[in-house]
Amino acid sequence: MVHQGVSNFSILNWCRDLKAQNLTGGVPPEFAKLRHLTHLDLSRNCLNGTIPPQWAKMGLVDVSFMGNRLSGSFPKVLTRMTTLVNLSIEGNQFSGPIPSEIGLLVNLQKLILSSNAFTGDLPVTLAKLTSLTDLRISDNNFTGKIPDFISSWKQIEKLHMQGCSLKGPIPSSISTLTSLSDLRIGDLTGGGSTFPPLSDMKSMKVLDLSFNNLTGDIPASFEHLIKVDFLYLTRNRLTGRIPSWILARNKNADLSYNNFTLDSSAPVECPRGSVGRHPCMKREYPCLEPRNQQRYSFHINCGGKEVNINNNNTIYDADLEARGASMYYWKQNWAFSSTGNFMDNDLDSDNYIETNISMLYNVTAPVSELYRTARVSPLSLTYYGLCLLNGNYTVKLHFAEIMFTNDSSFNSLGRRIFDVYLQGKLVLKDFDIAAEAGGPGRPIIKTFTAVVTSHTLKIHLYWAGRGTTGIPKRGTYGPLISAISVNPNFKPPVHHKKFRTSLVAGTIAGAVCFLTLILCFMHAKGCFGGKISADKELRGLDLQTGLFTLRQIKAATKNFDPENKIGEGGFGSVYKGLLSDGTIIAVKQLSSKSKQGTREFVNEIGMISALQHQI
């Protein structure tokens, strides 16, 4: 409660000590008695209701209600506080249209309305706010197009319109906003549009135009935007060649999921550490592995160490790569790309792996280890299953919101919202982990079926600008995933399953079936000398024996076809064979020229038996 004692500070000018105190109840009307108060920060509390009408008498210059539980329509009392320069009601539950009276606040320089539930068109009276330098309206439900009157904001430096349901195109009048240094427009609805004219924005440092259906080439004139540090153009329909200056200059860039013409001289593999370069923009990754080395499952503990589930039955690979901005990382059978920087958090480096701060519910060890950490991304996170056999798969995505708390503090007020694409198809729209699971700290598994046709499975998580960005701290937003499990909906083919089991039995049986003949042959050559018992030597080997006819062996090896030859030993060549029941065997063809003795032969049989540990 903040009512008691408020009027005792009648000569107070600044009040920032009430920030992040988990204050509850309504906004006290008694604040109106503080006639000298000009700066008030009530952000990150649990205040509810609305702003009382008595506040209209206040001479506030700077006020923030960011991250509370305020609700109802836009508080018109704020539009009567014409002294306001900075106003933030971000991260509350306000709804309805923005009133036209907003145009009365002609002194406003900063207006932050993000992460509410505002609707309707943007009022034309916003054009009167010609002193604006910072406007953020992301994560709302507006209607209509981006208005042409944005050209009135000649002094604006920061403009955020992500995930606010506005329609494209981006108006050409944006070209007059030459003071812009931070422009983020994303997830526009409607048809495609050409690249907006931004070449005169010489102060631009952050440019994010992802998910807008932009078409055409990147204008050559953009080369003059030499201050751009972060360039994100993912998920558009841009064409043509990628300008060389982008590849050379922008380390924090993402140009993926477009239709660029890739240079044939570019390297085949995506360079580790960048998704904005050749050939990381490719939609497909060819598998160069032979069929018998292609895979049919993978499991990842996203952001965590290796986890063994069910006593070696399922091992979730470790995923501990800490970097994330424009990052491409791969292992033998999977990879991930991550793009974006957590903006506005005033940190020199970002964390792309988070550790649980919330109590975990309804989960025990060792499964709980999957939810103690998670990989996060501020914009786009894609996991790839590489060199998979084509077919149908079951994909399980493991989530648990571990950055918000399940209590009555302001840490519980955050909303993480993102989209999930599987093989390019939208499968989760505006996905809120905590809302789906029944609160933070509660695991939830989303199960899907996917078809792999080009040996690659793609799981793409994308932040479209929705949800809070400053609770419990700045930079808390974007996709988060705890683990991934992918298994086939088909029986793995013989060369994957039997090659590991039946091949060993077939190898030994195929070798032993010749044993008697070889021993007799060697005895006739006098190799044994009556001193060494071959039977005794062979007892030390754990062999699975069988009996095959010469007709069966010839049929299995296609009459010892050279194409089936897989090796050469001291006693002759080794051939791969396929029996009529699907069992794969290895057959050694005896050479009469061999001069090796019994022990060498027994060692060779032992080496063949050891294949069971290598195949």
Answer yes or no: do 509 and 474 share one domain: no
354, part of any domain: yes
Confidence of residue 10 (pLDDT cuts 50, 70, 90): low
Residues whose CB is less than 8 angstroms from the CB of residue 13 and which lie 6 or more positions away in sequence, other chains included: 36, 37, 38, 39
For the segment 165-216, what is each residue's pLDDT rounded down to a tens digit?
Answer: 999 999 999 999 999 999 999 999 887 888 899 999 999 999 999 999 999 9
Q: Which residues pair with 252 in a beta bridge?
A: 230
391, 362 contact by CB (below 8 A) = no
Q: Which residues pair with 319 in a beta bridge?
A: 302
pLDDT of 532 higher than 60: no
Answer yes or no: do 526 and 430 share one domain: no
Answer yes or no: do 37 and 120 share one domain: yes
Output DSSP code: residue 416: B
261, part of any domain: no
413, 468 contact by CB (below 8 A) = yes
Domain total of the chain: 3
pLDDT of 135 higher than 60: yes
pLDDT of 604 higher than 80: no
Highest average pLDDT, of 208-222, 237-251, 422-436, 560-574, comes from: 422-436
Answer yes or no: do 487 and 500 share one domain: no
The span from the CA of 393 to the CA of 376, in Å, is 25
The span from the CA of 306 to the CA of 299, in Å, is 10
Average pLDDT over residues 134-148: 98
Answer yes or no: do 385 and 517 share one domain: no
201, part of any domain: yes
Answer yes or no: do 349 and 404 share one domain: yes
Residues whose CB is less than 8 angstroms from the CB of residue 545 and which lie 6 or more positions away in sequence, other chains included: 508, 509, 512, 513
Q: What is the mean pLDDT of the chain?
A: 84
Q: Domain holding 517: CATH number?
A: 3.30.200
Listed range (247-261, 381-395, 404-418) with the worst mean pLDDT: 247-261
Answer yes or no: do 499 and 355 share one domain: no
Confidence of residue 30 (pLDDT cuts 50, 70, 90): very high
Confidence of residue 380 (pLDDT cuts 50, 70, 90): very high
pLDDT of 27 higher than 90: yes
The span from the CA of 412 to the CA of 444, in Å, is 18
Is residue 401 packed enough to be buried (19+ CB in 10 Å), middle (13-18) or exposed (0-12)?
A: buried
When comparing pLDDT for 13 and 128, which is higher? 128
299, part of any domain: yes
150, part of any domain: yes
- E-state strands within 389-527: 391-399, 418-422, 425-431, 444-452, 457-462, 480-481, 483-488
Q: Which residues pair with 150 in a beta bridge?
A: none
The span from the CA of 136 to the CA of 132, in Å, is 11
The span from the CA of 582 to the CA of 551, in Å, is 16
pLDDT of 587 higher than 70: yes
pLDDT of 293 higher than 90: no
pLDDT of 588 higher than 70: yes
For the segment 306-350, what is each residue's pLDDT rounded down to a tens digit?
Answer: 999 987 689 999 999 987 677 788 888 999 999 888 877 766 678
Confidence of residue 515 (pLDDT cuts 50, 70, 90): very low
Answer yes or no: do 39 and 113 share one domain: yes
pLDDT of 288 higher than 70: no
Answer yes or no: do 484 and 513 share one domain: no
pLDDT confidence of residue 179: 98
Q: Which of 458, 473, 491 is the last residue of a domain?
A: 491
Average pLDDT over residues 67-77: 98
189, part of any domain: yes
Average pLDDT over residues 107-119: 99
Place of tokens 């992500």: 162
Kindly report the backbone phi and psi dihedral angles of residue 203, in degrees, each rounded to the nearest multiple of 5, phi listed first.
-95, 0
Answer yes or no: do 241 and 338 share one domain: no
Percentage, residues of the chain above pLDDT 90: 60
Q: Domain holding 470: CATH number?
A: 2.60.120.430
Q: Which residues pair with 159 in a beta bridge?
A: 135, 183
Helices (H) and strands (E) in the chain, counts: 8, 38
pLDDT of 271 higher than 70: no
pLDDT of 297 higher than 60: yes
* SS3 of residue 384 by DSSP: strand
Listed range (46-55, 433-442, 544-553) with the worst mean pLDDT: 544-553
Kindly report the number of other CB atoms within 10 A of residue 333's CB atom.
17
Tell whether 588 is in a known binding site.
yes
pLDDT of 594 higher than 90: no
When comparing pLDDT for 517 and 400, which is higher? 400
Answer yes or no: do 157 and 29 share one domain: yes
Listed range (105-114, 178-187, 508-517, 588-597) with the worst mean pLDDT: 508-517
pLDDT confidence of residue 117: 98
Q: Which of 491, 508, 530 is the last residue of a domain?
A: 491
- E-state strands within 138-224: 141-142, 158-162, 182-186, 193-194, 206-208, 214-216
Q: Domain holding 122: CATH number?
A: 3.80.10.10
398, 387 contact by CB (below 8 A) = no
260, part of any domain: no
pLDDT of 252 higher than 70: yes
pLDDT confidence of residue 541: 41
pLDDT confidence of residue 376: 97
pLDDT of 509 higher than 60: no
Answer yes or no: do 469 and 506 share one domain: no
Q: What is the domain extent for residue 70?
A: 6-254
Confidence of residue 537 (pLDDT cuts 50, 70, 90): very low
Average pLDDT over residues 22-31: 96
Q: Which of 491, 512, 540 is the last residue of a domain?
A: 491
The residue count of the chain comes to 615
When comparing pLDDT for 55 and 494, which is higher? 55
Of the candidates 414, 405, 402, 401, which has an alpha carbon nearest to the alpha carbon of residue 471? Answer: 414
Confidence of residue 613 (pLDDT cuts 50, 70, 90): very low
The span from the CA of 177 to the CA of 200, in Å, is 9
265, part of any domain: no
